[in-house]
Chain A
Amino acid sequence: MIRIGSGAGFAGDRLEPAVILAERAGLAYLGLECLAERTIALAQLRKLKDPNEGYDPLLARRMERLLPVAKKNGVRLLSNMGAANPVAGAAALLEIARRRKIPLKVAAVTGDDVLQLLEPNDRILETGGRVADYPWLVSANAYLGAEALLPALASGADVVLTGRVADPSLFLAPAMHEFGWDPADWDRIAAGTVMGHLLECGGQVTGGYYADPGVKDVPRFAELGFPFAEIEPDGRFVIAKPEDTGGVVNLMSVKEQLLYEVTDPRGYATPDVLADFTTVQIRPAGTERVAVSGATGRPRPQQLKVSIGYHAGWVGEGEISYGGPNARARAELAAETLRARLAPEFAELRVDLIGLSSLHGRPLHAVGEPYEIRVRVAGRAGIREKAERVGEEVEALWTNGPGGGGGARKYLREQIGVVSTLIERSRVRPELHVTEVRGEEATV
């Protein structure tokens, strides 16, 4: 049995839970999933400005705390924090190691960047259109699988740093490495993929994105612990969390995460396998422990999914609040006014009443008059200056809007859209770059 932990479920995740896992969960491996679809495109933009950039902006902060503990306890780290530039991320890690006098070997895995391999006629999966429909491409990254990480693990690296890798593969790879699983042993690969899928979102299997007071209570929520799996050579595993942390691991939390973002429960597709979740069995296995078994798999897809980032223009936003008597009518007047002032300039404009209809379109059960409402408007434009108009019109409501408007704020962001295509597996060639700081260097 080995223990594999999950130290981050998205780029901005909390830092402390990973340190707790590395300190006292008896882990062999700790995976940190930090790369959403859009995140890698933003990283690519940073790399274009500076060739030494383009890895996760939080990498240094996370690793300053995590590396010493992980190294002391022999916990090997795997993360996609390499983002658009794993080699530069590895260099940044070695710099930390040198300064802290920690001997460290880092394996960077590249080869996911396939921007130069795209063809204008490649099909866009979401729209049925073509790559040529997107003239302002930022990035194109193929989802590598666990096999691409095996040479990095075999190199003996303390840290494996990647760019785009299928999220579950970060956790499947160490199981394959430790137990010597055949990549075509589909049931075991499916079992490791189910484990990876349950771990990849960090706290989402231990009570995060779950708590609902009185229905789904989560003790010591503020100290939510992150999960680890205890996996056996045959692929059976238990999901658990470190003792003396907050959160829950129960059948409900595990079920919710098992089906999270799953389009077809009979065929969950990764670069490694088509996994069938409808054969998975879960049962309680002690306090805050759930046993998972029975996953089955079919041969992996012949093609790899590619995530393409493109410039989708600029979004301007603004918000302002109304409260007290007749708040709703004044908010509605503000909304109508903004629409009238902005609609002629914006083909894509959205006005929301926060507190009433911003999330679900309208209240889905009877509600009284809300005490306060926040008006929010968002519009898209091709150029920055035009998008800025949205926030300006909201601020102008201070003196040109209904009575008692308060707390106006404006925001502006560049929007990166993401679409997908497929690429032949044989055209994607993962590469390994191993660098290290040796003991004598580290102790100089």
Chain B
Amino acid sequence: MKKRLYELAHCRAGDKGNTSLLSVFALRDADYPLLVARVTAQAVKAQLGHIVRGTVTRHEVPNLCALQFVCEDALGGGVTTSLAMDAHGKSLSYALLEMEIES
């Protein structure tokens, strides 16, 4: 059965230069293994490929039931020179939570 990631996780976006940092947390700790299995770096790149032009790297942070995604070349050249409305990519957390995963 497919589920929207929004039903399983919460997320916050941060930025460093042209890199977007997306932190994904299980809403219920019991769902963390499912997130680890399904929300891979590859899956995130597929979900946000039209925004994230560079590499996506994933860090597992099990003490927080969290996954940290480092998305390179994601902010239109960088926060300070981007022409985008949302130059910081602060809304990208909710673009990731749109992702559908097999549960």
User: Given contacts A261-B15, A278-B63, A360-B95, could you give 4 more A-B pairs where the C-beta distance is less than 8 Å?
Assistant: A255-B66, A256-B25, A359-B95, A415-B81
Asked if residues B16 and A261 are in contact (CB atoms below 8 Å), the reply is yes
Asked if residues A259 and B23 are in contact (CB atoms below 8 Å), the reply is yes
> How many angstroms between the C-alpha atoms of A257 and B21 in the bound complex?
12
| Chain B residues whose CB sits within 8 angstroms of the CB of A415 once the complex forms | 80-81
> How many angstroms between the C-alpha atoms of A215 and B61 in the bound complex?
22
B-contacting residues of A (Cβ < 8 Å)?
A: 37-38, 126, 209-210, 212, 215-216, 252, 255-266, 277-282, 294, 312, 315, 348-350, 352, 354, 358-362, 364-365, 376, 378-380, 415-420
Q: Which of A265, A277, A417 has the most CB of B within 10 A?
A: A265
Q: List 27 A-B contacts (CB under 8 A).
A: A210-B12, A215-B6, A215-B27, A252-B25, A255-B23, A255-B65, A259-B21, A259-B23, A261-B21, A263-B70, A266-B59, A278-B61, A281-B63, A348-B83, A350-B84, A352-B84, A360-B92, A361-B51, A364-B47, A364-B95, A378-B83, A379-B83, A415-B81, A417-B81, A418-B17, A418-B80, A420-B17
> How many angstroms between the C-alpha atoms of A415 and B78 in the bound complex?
12
Which 5 residue pairs across A and B have the least CB separation, nearest first?
A261-B14, A259-B23, A364-B98, A350-B83, A256-B12
Asked if residues A362 and B61 are in contact (CB atoms below 8 Å), the reply is no
| Chain A residues whose CB sits within 8 angstroms of the CB of B66 once the complex forms | 255, 259
Nearest opposing residue in chain B for A348, CB measure = B83
| Chain A residues whose CB sits within 8 angstroms of the CB of B6 once the complex forms | 215
Residue of B14, B23, B80 touching A417 (CB-CB under 8 A): B80
Asked if residues A354 and B85 are in contact (CB atoms below 8 Å), the reply is yes
A359-B98 contact in complex given A37-B80, A417-B78, C-beta closer than 8 Å? no
A126-B17 contact in complex given A256-B25, A264-B59, A359-B95, C-beta closer than 8 Å? yes
